[in-house]
């Protein structure tokens, strides 16, 4: 009897710890304690091994045999605009809006294989590289490398990755959106493009927030529709400042989002008249912003006429 | 950089929180909205302890440097705090050892021959040679113990006690004869909590029943608001009057130290971390320790906990005149322990750990558990009590450790006979205190064995008197029902049951505050 109660006590303890400490999910800080959270450790695990041959092979297996089937079993995707990559040979910077942990697999699995294999993902050092197992996991799965969101010394790393011939996937917002709408852009992607003379490919996607917002660690049931659209590569103009170029990248993503919700032509006309819808969303009550972002995406259907036809599912 | 203490409000993100309960702990799911007071993180010790001690002795506060006070042919007595400090016992070398060694080095340099060391244990049990050696160190122990010059104070050895006079409030002041007749009395203190130190060191530690009865009684304790705040404590006011009188007869060179909050060594250091910051290893340690304790026999659990040695850091040291030194010490203690709390609460929750000042290497019997919870922890406030008058206190402790017959013989009779008759501190004091204080068998055990004095359980009960006077309900979660009932309290299986029981007193939706200690904290209630 005593032995059984000890076992039962152990099971109860494990259950309580699993629930209370959010095993399998990222731990949370009580709101009233947020003020007292210590600064993130500066120790960041290296990731250069993740771009060597054994890791590349392992990643190919993991992505094609594991990640992709699981991803496609949970969501449906509509990918458009990949023809923009046809004329490109060297590394590029994919700059995308950021609303969910689904964004990275969505972008990577939407890319042609030859591009996917040569794309590394900039990931927050304080989030993805704070423990060895998280660093190894994200590096193997997504080919991540650490960037310091506070603008610390690691900012040199993306340049080295670019110089090695890898394309980069960067989310210029720096963090996932709180409500699905686009946040403030940081200038890291524009600065890199400037410094290393590589084009920026704007990428806009919708639906990931509704499928798996902050706080969820698995997509919502029902195989929600995600759409992703790649835009024309942008290069800094002669004499164009980093700040202006960053604004242009943001405007391009905003136009792509607009286009994804309407048509290419309508979006072009609004862009020309500077009336593109603010990607930051309307200034309305928070619930209305969330309501709009969580609405199912109308993916057009077979009879809808699109100005830009090229697509694959 | 250590972080200050703060008050957490339990929300949906809060993991289960650790609550000590005797020789173990539990993880409690507190109700949303519960306030949890966390102590400041360890502020860290001074990097050069030896240098800091030397500096304090050479540049004392409002006093001549120690070497100037040491002369050949003089009579020097060094008294020191006993085994009740620190809690847990400090990892060797103890601070007191390091200080005493430097004092003795200076004394040797000055040619002082007549030196005696006394453990200021008042009515506490005599320390064993091993315990004395842990405090003073092997070198000092070997030099003095064998010659009978390292001793425990004996408050019943009337031939070696001196009556110094009466205070302006007619309080009798008796102290150790050797100390009183010394040219210099050096007192080496560790102020773990703000109750310790000051004039209480000599005034209480080297006194006798004739002095102690003036402030160790129900009335004084009820009027000490609190006894952790020496400026608002009747206990301390009395000790201060006595200390000043002692100072007129003997030169006291007070050396006070303070320590940080580093109470649990690895791998038990998760016990003092904030739960939402627990690493996987901390969580695994918690689960492992809990399972280990669940299967371990009581004896082993006792050994596991009582063998812990705290890696304290010394945060400060000051020497010189008693009162200015104590002010500096208290400021340092407050820096480490003070937490601002806004307003009182209906229900105060306290986890009573395995250890208090009176059960070092011994058992936490129900009377000591009450003293620890309703005495030390309840009184860990400044300003006003954390719980409102008429509120409820919920304590966690199994109340099942029983009594240590060697250390606490009079506690057994106090529990079985006195508390069976009345649990009112005023009543038991009036009717039975003198009988226990003068009982020749208890006195014999106190003087020759390792027993606390016969009257000591009364003092423990008085320690809780302010809390008993202040709140209307005391409930022990997980406490032995018979033991709780004997002491006039109730027991509940879970926190929810305890809150349900307390609803008659505080209503169905009370405000709840949990003091997350140890490490020790003082709630500065505004």
| Cβ-Cβ contacts under 8 Å, B294 against chain A | 6, 9-10
Q: Which of A127, A249, A254, A253 is nearest to A188 (CA)?
A: A249
For testing contact with chain B, the best of A9, A23, A27 (most B CBs within 10 A): A27
Cα dihedral B176, B180, B185, B190, rounded to 10, equals 30
d(CA B333, CA B327): 10
pLDDT digits (tens, 9 = 90+) for A150-201: 655 444 478 888 888 999 999 999 899 988 999 998 888 999 999 899 999 9
d(CA B190, CA B308): 18
A76-312: CATH topology: Glycerol-3-phosphate (1)-acyltransferase (3.40.1130)
Q: Are strands A75-80 and A224-230 parallel, antiparallel or unpaired?
A: parallel
Which residue spans of chain B are classified as CATH 3.90.226.30? 6-41+337-525
Q: How far is A103 from chain B (nearest CA, A)?
A: 25
For testing contact with chain A, the best of B31, B283, B286, B293 (most A CBs within 10 A): B283
For testing contact with chain B, the best of A19, A28, A36, A133 (most B CBs within 10 A): A36
Q: Decide if B294 and A10 are in contact by the 8 Å CB cutoff.
A: yes
Which residue spans of chain B are classified as CATH 3.40.50.11440? 49-259
Q: How far is B179 from chain A (nearest CA, A)?
A: 49
How does DSSP assign B104-126, residue by residue?
A: HHHHHHHT--EEEEEE--TTSPP
d(CA A189, CA A191): 5
Q: How far is A6 from chain B (nearest CA, A)?
A: 7
Low-confidence ranges of chain A (pLDDT < 70): 1-2, 40-45, 149-156, 298-313
For testing contact with chain A, the best of B2, B4, B274, B494 (most A CBs within 10 A): B274
User: Would you call A313 an interface residue with chain B, using a CB distance cutoff of 8 Å?
Assistant: no
Q: Decide if A16 and B27 are in contact by the 8 Å CB cutoff.
A: yes
Cβ within 8 Å of A, B 451-470: none
Strand partners, A281: none
Residue with tokens 């200015």: B324
Domain boundaries, chain A: 76-312
Question: Helix H segments across B250-321?
Answer: 280-295, 298-306
How does DSSP assign B22-49, residue by residue?
A: BSSEEEE-PPTT-EEEEPPPP----S-H
Per-residue pLDDT at A303: 42
pTM of full prediction above 0.80: no
Nearest CA in chain B to A20: B15
User: Would you call A24 an interface residue with chain B, using a CB distance cutoff of 8 Å?
Assistant: no
To 10 degrees, what angle do helices B280-295 and B298-306 make? 140
How many interface pairs between A and B have CB atoms less than 8 angstroms apart? Answer: 62
Q: Decide if A10 and B287 are in contact by the 8 Å CB cutoff.
A: yes
| Cβ-Cβ contacts under 8 Å, A7 against chain B | none
| Cβ-Cβ contacts under 8 Å, A17 against chain B | 16, 27, 283, 286-287
Q: Decide if A30 and B283 are in contact by the 8 Å CB cutoff.
A: no
Here the tokens at position B270 are: 């998760």
User: Would you call A39 an interface residue with chain B, using a CB distance cutoff of 8 Å?
Assistant: no
| Cβ-Cβ contacts under 8 Å, B291 against chain A | 6, 9-10, 13
Answer whether A276's CB lies under 8 Å from A268's CB. no
Strand partners, B184: B76
d(CA B83, CA B81): 7
Q: How far is B266 from chain A (nearest CA, A)?
A: 21
Q: How far is B360 from chain A (nearest CA, A)?
A: 29
Question: What is the DSSP-derived secondary structure letter of residue A111?
Answer: S
The partner residue sitting opposite A9, judged by closest CB among B4, B11, B294, is: B294
* Angle in degrees, CA A69, A71, A73, rounded to 5: 65
| Cβ-Cβ contacts under 8 Å, A16 against chain B | 16, 27, 29
Nearest CA in chain B to A40: B277
d(CA A269, CA B123): 92
d(CA A56, CA A139): 10
Distances (CA, A) of B465 to A191, B239, B338, B395: 70, 19, 23, 16
Nearest CA in chain B to A10: B291
Q: Decide if B13 and A21 are in contact by the 8 Å CB cutoff.
A: no
Nearest CA in chain B to A215: B13
B6-41+337-525: CATH topology: 2-enoyl-CoA Hydratase; Chain A, domain 1 (3.90.226)
CATH of B49-259, one of 3.40.50.11440, 3.30.1540.10, 2.40.50.140, 2.60.40.10: 3.40.50.11440
User: How many residues are given for chain A?
Assistant: 313
pLDDT in tens, chain B (526 residues): 789 999 999 999 999 999 999 999 999 999 999 999 999 999 999 999 999 999 999 999 999 999 999 999 999 999 999 999 999 999 999 999 999 999 999 999 999 999 999 999 999 999 999 999 999 999 999 999 999 999 999 999 999 999 999 999 999 999 999 999 999 999 999 999 999 999 999 999 999 999 999 999 999 999 998 899 999 999 999 999 999 999 999 999 999 999 999 999 999 999 999 999 999 999 999 999 999 999 999 999 999 999 999 999 999 999 999 999 999 999 999 999 999 999 999 999 999 999 999 999 999 999 999 999 999 999 999 999 999 999 999 999 999 999 999 999 999 999 999 999 999 999 999 999 999 999 999 999 999 999 999 999 999 999 999 999 999 999 999 999 999 999 999 999 999 999 999 999 999 999 999 999 999 999 999 9
Q: Decide if A10 and B10 are in contact by the 8 Å CB cutoff.
A: no
Q: Where are the beta strands (DSSP E) in B23-111?
A: 25-28, 35-38, 75-80
| Cβ-Cβ contacts under 8 Å, A32 against chain B | 6-9, 11
């Amino acid at each position: 009897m005593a032995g059984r109660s000890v076992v039962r006590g152990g099971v109860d303890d494990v259950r309580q710890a699993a629930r209370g400490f959010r095993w399998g999910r990222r731990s949370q800080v009580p709101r009233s304690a947020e003020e007292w959270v210590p600064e993130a450790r500066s120790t960041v695990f290296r990731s250069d091994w993740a771009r060597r041959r054994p890791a590349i092979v392992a990643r190919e297996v993991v992505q094609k045999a594991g990640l992709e089937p699981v991803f496609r079993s949970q969501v449906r995707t509509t990918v458009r605009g990949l023809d923009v990559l046809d004329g490109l040979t060297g590394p590029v910077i994919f700059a995308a809006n950021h609303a969910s942990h689904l964004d990275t697999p969505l972008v990577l699995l939407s890319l042609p294989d030859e591009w996917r294999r040569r794309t590394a993902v900039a990931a927050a050092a304080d989030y993805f590289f704070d423990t060895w197992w998280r660093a190894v996991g994200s590096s193997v799965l997504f080919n991540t490398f650490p960037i310091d969101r506070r603008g610390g010394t690691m900012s040199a790393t993306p340049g080295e990755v670019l110089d090695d011939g890898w394309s980069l996937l960067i989310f210029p917002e720096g963090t996932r959106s709180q409500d699905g709408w686009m946040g403030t852009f940081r200038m890291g992607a524009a600065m890199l493009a400037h410094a290393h003379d590589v084009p920026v490919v704007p990428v806009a996607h919708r639906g990931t927030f509704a499928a798996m917002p902050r706080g969820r660690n698995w997509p919502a049931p029902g195989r929600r529709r995600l759409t992703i659209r790649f835009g024309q590569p942008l290069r800094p103009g002669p004499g164009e400042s980093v700040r202006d170029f960053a604004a242009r990248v943001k405007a391009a993503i905003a136009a792509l989002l607009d286009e994804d919700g309407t048509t290419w032509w309508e979006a072009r006309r609004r862009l020309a008249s500077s009336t593109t819808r603010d990607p930051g969303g309307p200034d309305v009550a928070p619930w209305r912003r969330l309501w709009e972002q969580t609405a199912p995406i109308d993916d057009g259907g077979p009879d809808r006429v699109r100005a830009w036809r090229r697509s694959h599912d | 950089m250590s972080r200050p203490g703060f008050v957490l409000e339990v929300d949906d993100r809060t993991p289960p929180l650790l609550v000590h309960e005797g020789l173990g702990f539990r993880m409690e799911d507190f109700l949303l909205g519960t306030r949890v007071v966390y102590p400041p993180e360890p502020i860290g010790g001074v990097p050069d302890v030896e240098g800091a001690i030397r500096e304090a002795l050479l540049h004392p506060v409002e006093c001549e440097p120690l070497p100037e006070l040491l002369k050949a042919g003089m009579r020097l007595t060094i008294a020191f705090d006993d085994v009740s400090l620190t809690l847990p016992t400090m990892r060797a070398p103890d601070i007191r050892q390091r200080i005493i060694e430097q004092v003795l080095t200076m004394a040797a340099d000055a040619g002082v021959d007549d030196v005696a060391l006394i453990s200021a244990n008042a009515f506490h049990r005599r320390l064993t040679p091993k315990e004395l050696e842990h405090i003073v160190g092997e070198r000092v122990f070997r030099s003095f113990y064998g010659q009978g010059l390292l001793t425990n104070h004996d408050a019943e050895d009337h031939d070696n006690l001196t009556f110094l006079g009466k205070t302006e409030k007619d309080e009798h002041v008796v102290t150790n004869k050797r100390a009183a007749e010394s040219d210099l009395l050096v007192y080496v203190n560790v102020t773990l909590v703000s109750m310790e130190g000051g004039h209480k060191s000599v005034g209480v530690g080297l006194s006798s029943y004739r002095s102690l009865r003036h402030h160790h009684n129900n009335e004084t304790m009820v009027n000490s608001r609190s006894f952790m705040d020496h400026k608002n404590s009747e206990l301390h006011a009395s000790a201060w009057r006595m200390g000043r009188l002692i100072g007129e007869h003997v030169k006291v060179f007070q050396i006070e130290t303070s320590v940080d909050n580093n109470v649990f060594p690895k791998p038990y250091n998760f016990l003092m971390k904030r739960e939402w910051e627990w690493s996987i290893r901390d969580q695994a340690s918690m689960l492992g320790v809990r399972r280990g304790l669940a299967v371990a026999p009581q004896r082993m659990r006792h050994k596991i906990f009582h063998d812990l040695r705290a890696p304290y850091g010394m945060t400060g040291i000051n020497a010189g005149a008693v009162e200015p030194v104590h002010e500096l010490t208290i400021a340092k203690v407050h820096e480490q322990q003070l937490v601002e709390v806004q307003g009182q609460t209906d229900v105060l929750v306290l986890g009573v750990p395995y250890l208090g000042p009176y059960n070092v290497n011994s058992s936490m019997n129900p009377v000591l558990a009450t003293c620890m919870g309703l005495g030390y922890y309840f009184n860990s406030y400044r300003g006003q009590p954390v719980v409102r008058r008429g509120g409820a206190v919920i304590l966690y402790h199994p109340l099942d450790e029983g009594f240590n017959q060697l250390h606490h013989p009079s506690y057994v009779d106090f529990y079985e006979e006195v508390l069976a008759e009345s649990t009112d501190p005023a009543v038991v004091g009036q009717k039975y205190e003198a009988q226990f204080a003068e009982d020749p068998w208890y006195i014999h055990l106190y003087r020759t064995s390792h027993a606390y004095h016969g009257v000591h359980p009364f003092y423990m009960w008085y320690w809780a008197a302010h809390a008993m006077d202040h709140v209307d309900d005391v409930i022990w979660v997980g406490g032995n029902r018979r033991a709780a009932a004997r002491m006039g309290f109730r027991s509940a299986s879970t926190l929810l049951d305890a809150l349900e029981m307390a609803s008659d007193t505080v209503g169905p939706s009370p405000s709840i505050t949990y003091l997350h200690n140890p490490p020790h904290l003082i709630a500065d209630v505004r």
